[in-house]
Amino acid sequence: MSGHGDEGEARRERHLRRASRLQAMDDHALRAVLKAAGNIREGWGTNRVVRIDGAPVFVKSLPLTALEYERAALL
């Protein structure tokens, strides 16, 4: 394959690699990555850009409601 197909496949592979890295992080590691990024903007939630494998990844943190927090504790 050549052209856009190869580029699309490479992009997909990079995405999957970064997604796997994020998924493998425990809460402590995720907090450290978010803290290192600092805040870009706060409003309803906080926006940040973190670096995963050297690439920028947009992160939006939203507060949990009491019900969501209680349900998460049961998991």
* pTM score: 0.64
CA torsion 5-49-30-12 (nearest 10°) is 0
User: Both tokens of residue 48?
Assistant: 């940040």
Please determine, for residue 45, whether its predicted confidence score (pLDDT) is greater than 90: no
Least confident of 5-9, 27-31, 33-37, 61-65: 61-65
Q: What is the pLDDT of residue 3?
A: 54
Q: Taking the domains of the chain in order of start, what are their residue ranges?
A: 4-74
Q: What is the pLDDT of residue 26?
A: 93
Q: Which residues pair with 57 in a beta bridge?
A: 50
Mean pLDDT for the chain? 85
* Radius of gyration of the chain from its Cα atoms, rounded to whole angstroms: 16
| Cα 57 from Cα 40, distance rounded (Å) | 13
Per-residue pLDDT averaged across 52-65, rounded?
87
